[in-house]
A and B are shown apart, each in its own frame.
Chain A
Amino acid sequence: QQQVKQSPQSLIVQKGGISIINCAYENTAFDYFPWYQQFPGKGPALLIAIRPDVSEKKEGRFTISFNKSAKQFSLHIMDSQPGDSATYFCAASKGETSGSRLTFGEGTQLTVNP
């Protein structure tokens, strides 16, 4: 019930293309859904996050789409750039209080070819 499943495991996209990464969760108590970006040798860094009261959130080239009934959410990277090449993790947590644990997906290694 605590799992977050992420796909695909790896993704190769041409520069300028759209990268789409999908996640599904089981626990309906989750109400905070962040995406983290991780470069080799670095810690995860928050990219964008959404709460279930909205179905979409956009920040620059990054958009989260959220489907509460299907318990799925996805990250769309528009106009993908070689600098976007990194590992992306979706995550979820229960937000009854600050400081709740994050449950991460398995990660997607994105490669954007020039």
Chain B
Amino acid sequence: EPEVTQTPSHQVTQMGQEVILRCVPISNHLYFYWYRQILGQKVEFLVSFYNNEISEKSEIFDDQFSVERPDGSNFTLKIRSTKLEDSAMYFCASSPWTGIMNTEAFFGQGTRLTVV
């Protein structure tokens, strides 16, 4: 069964350092997303990406964040200068194109980011 894969599973970084979280979406999917989940809280939308550009972003996704699809398979989230409050589980997700209807978003296992 196809799945979204994320690496690394756990990343520890010093405050102020840059981190790149990596994702391989399901191969025939066209929409890509990043969500985050602070421990014990709900899953929050960060950004969606379609046709090589950001289609929507939340208030959380400020100038410290960026996304990129550097090749045909990877989708990355970069945090330029990490803060303690960036510590969270980051989920990548992807969904297929179905025309006008919303459809299932498939989530990866997540990357736990710990900023110390």
Contacts and interface: CB of A to CB of B under 8 A. Distances in A.
A1 interface: no
Given A101-B33, A101-B58, A107 B105 contact: no
Interface string A1-41: 00000000000000000000000000000011010100001
B42 A44 contact: no
A95 B4 contact: no
A86 interface: no
* Range of interface residues on A (Cβ < 8 Å): 20 to 34
Nearest to A6: B42
Given A42-B109, A43-B107, A98-B97, A106 B91 contact: no
Closest 8 CB pairs between A and B?
A43-B107, A99-B31, A95-B102, A32-B102, A101-B45, A104-B43, A46-B104, A106-B42
Interface of B: 4, 30-31, 33, 35, 41-45, 48, 50, 55-56, 58, 91, 93, 95-110
16 contacts: A32-B102, A43-B4, A43-B93, A43-B107, A46-B104, A49-B104, A93-B102, A95-B100, A96-B100, A98-B101, A99-B33, A99-B48, A99-B50, A99-B102, A100-B102, A103-B45
